[in-house]
Structure 1
Amino acid sequence: MNLVILAAGKNTRLDTGIPKSLVTLHGETLMSRHIRIFKQQGVKKFCIISGYGAEKLEAALSVLKSTHDADITILHNKRFDLENGFSVFRAKEWVEGNGMDDFFLTMGDHIFDPNFVKEFVRKSEGLETTLQLAVDMPGDSNAHIDIDDVTKVLVDEKDMIQSIGKIIPEYNRYDTGLFRLKSGVFDTFQESFDKEEYTISQSVSKLIASGQAKTVLVEGYTWNDVDNPDDLQSTIKLMDQKRL
C-alpha cells in the first residue's frame, strides 16, 4: 500500500507562515502524524506533494524520513496556485514509475483517529471502481465539522456517489478527505484539465458519470480538516478529549 499526501496549499486562512501540514498539535506535526499512522496500517511508500513553503516542508520531511524510517518521495507542484486536483496529478510519475495498481490519497491538513484509517484500509480492499472515498454520516459525532466548508456527498443505496460539492442541494454524507484510487484515475484528471477544471470534485464528477465513484462509510471515529483558526481550536479540543 502506498499513500499520496497533498501539502501544496498556500495556507491563506490559517496563516501560520508555514505549510498547514507542519502545524504542531500535542507535540506532533500533522505530517508526522499521517506518516506514523498510515505506516502502522501497512503503507510502504509515501509521496508528498509540496508547493507553498516547499523549503520548510522538505526540511521537515528529511527529519521525518529518519524519525519514522519511512520511504518518502517529495514532488514539487510549482503551480500550487491552482486547485488541489493539479497536485494529485503531480503524483502520476511516482505512481506509474513504481508500477502501482492503486494508491491512497489524503490532504496534509486533515487529521484522523487511527482507527478511522484502519477501518477504511480494511473496507476498501478489493477496489472495484476507479475511486473509493471514505465518507461519514452527518450526526452528533461530527458536529464540530465546519458545515460551510466541508465537501458534501449524495450517495445512493449502493454507496455510489450521485453528486459532490461544498454547495449541493441534497446530501447524506460528508467527504472526509481520504481516498483509494486506481492508477487509471489520472486519465480522468487530464480530461478535467483540458477543460480548465482543477478541483478534485470536478474530476470525481466525471467518474460519477461513468459509474466509477463509490463511497466507503466509516462511522464512529473522529476526523477533521484543520483549515482555519476555528478548525485548529476544535481539533485541539478533540485531542484534549482523547477523540483524536
Structure 2
Amino acid sequence: MNLVILAAGKNTRLDTGIPKSLVTLNGETLMARHIRIFKRFGVKKFCIISGYGAEKLQNALPGLQSTHDADITILHNDRFDLENGFSVFRAKEWVEKNNMGDFFLTMGDHIFDPAFVEEFVKKSSGLGTTLQLAVDMPGESNKHIDIDDVTKVLVDDEGFIDSIGKKIPDYNRYDTGLFRLKSEVFDVFQKSFDQKEYTISESVSKLMDSHEAKSVLVEGYTWNDVDNPDDLQSTIKLMDESRL
C-alpha cells in the first residue's frame, strides 16, 4: 500500500512560520510520525503534497528519507489557495505512474494513535467501494475534538455515508481525516472541479448516491487535528497522558 499526505495548507490558524506537518511534538514532526507509523503497517511509498512553505518540506526530505529509509516523493500544488480536494488531485500522476489500484490518504496536520492506523488498515482491506473513510463515534474518548471545526458524517445502518460536512445538522460520526481510495476517485474530483467544488467532502457527496462512499468505524483510539493553538495544547496533553 501507499500513502498520500496533504501538507499544502496556508497555516493561518497555527501561525508558526512552517507547515503544520513540520510542527515537532515529543522530538518528532507530525510528518515524520506519519511516515514511521504507516510504514510499520505496510505502506511502501509516500507522496507529500506541498504548497505553503514548500521549500521547508523540501529541505526536510533528506532527513525523512534517511531516518525512515522510506520512498518519499514531494509534489507541489501551486494552487494551495484552493480547498483540499485540489491537493488530492495533484497526486494523480504519482498514483498512475506507480500503477496503484488504491491508496491511503491523510492530512499532514492530523495525528493518530498507531493502533488507530492498524485497525483502519485491517478493516478497509476487504471493502470494495471507491472511497472508504475512517470515522469515530462521538463520545468521551474524543471530547477534545474541536466540535466547530471537525467534519461531521451521517452514516446508515450499513455504514454507507448519507451526508458529510462541517455544518450538517444531523450526524452520528466524526470524519477522522484518514481515507482509503481507489484510483477511479480522480474522475470524481474532476467532476467536482468542473462545478467549482474543491473540497474532499464535496467529492464524497458525489459518491454517496451510488453507494461508493463507505465509512469504517474505528473507535476507542485517540486522534486529533492539530489545526490551531488549542488543538496543539490538547495534543500535548494527550501525549502527556500516553494516549498518543
Match of 1:174, SS state, is: strand
Aligned to 1:216: 216
Match of 2:220, SS state, is: coil
Aligned to 1:127: 127
2:19 aligned with 1:29, yes or no?
no
Aligned to 1:151: 151
Q: Provide Cα deviations, 1:107-146, integer angstroms capped at 9, x if missing partner.
A: 0000000000000000001231000000000000000000
1:62: Cα distance to partner?
1.9
Q: Provide Cα deviations, 1:71-108, integer angstroms capped at 9, x if missing partner.
A: 00110000000000000000000001100000000000
Aligned to 2:82: 82
> Where do residues 171-210 of structure 1 align in structure 2 (5 Å cutoff)?
171-210=171-210
Aligned to 1:64: 64
The AA in structure 1 aligned to 2:9 is G
Q: Provide Cα deviations, 1:187-217, integer angstroms capped at 9, x if missing partner.
A: 0000000001000000000011221000000
For the aligned residue pairs, the C-alpha RMSD in angstroms reads: 0.5
> Alignment identity in percent?
84
The AA in structure 1 aligned to 2:113 is D
Alpha-carbon distance between aligned partners in 2 of 1:198 and 1:58, rounded to the nearest angstrom: 25
Structure 1 stretches lacking a partner, 5+ long: none
> Where do residues 2-17 of structure 1 align in structure 2 (5 Å cutoff)?
2-17=2-17
Alpha-carbon distance between aligned partners in 2 of 1:152 and 1:130, rounded to the nearest angstrom: 20
Alpha-carbon distance between aligned partners in 1 of 2:203 and 2:232, rounded to the nearest angstrom: 29
TM-score, with structure 2 as normaliser: 0.99
Alpha-carbon distance between aligned partners in 2 of 1:197 and 1:62, rounded to the nearest angstrom: 35
The AA in structure 2 aligned to 1:170 is D
Aligned to 1:38: 38
Match of 1:15, SS state, is: coil
Aligned to 1:103: 103
Structure 2 stretches lacking a partner, 5+ long: none
Q: Provide Cα deviations, 1:34-88, integer angstroms capped at 9, x if missing partner.
A: 0000000000000000000000011112210111000001100000000000000
The AA in structure 2 aligned to 1:95 is V
Aligned to 2:163: 163
Alpha-carbon distance between aligned partners in 1 of 2:219 and 2:100, rounded to the nearest angstrom: 29
Match of 1:111, SS state, is: strand
The AA in structure 1 aligned to 2:111 is I
Alpha-carbon distance between aligned partners in 2 of 1:178 and 1:122, rounded to the nearest angstrom: 13
Alpha-carbon distance between aligned partners in 1 of 2:210 and 2:30, rounded to the nearest angstrom: 35
Alpha-carbon distance between aligned partners in 2 of 1:58 and 1:115, rounded to the nearest angstrom: 29
Alpha-carbon distance between aligned partners in 2 of 1:61 and 1:40, rounded to the nearest angstrom: 19
Alpha-carbon distance between aligned partners in 2 of 1:131 and 1:177, rounded to the nearest angstrom: 12
The AA in structure 2 aligned to 1:18 is I
Aligned to 1:52: 52
1:169: Cα distance to partner?
1.1
Aligned to 1:226: 226
TM-score, with structure 1 as normaliser: 0.99
The AA in structure 2 aligned to 1:133 is L
Q: How many residue pairs align between the two structures? A: 244
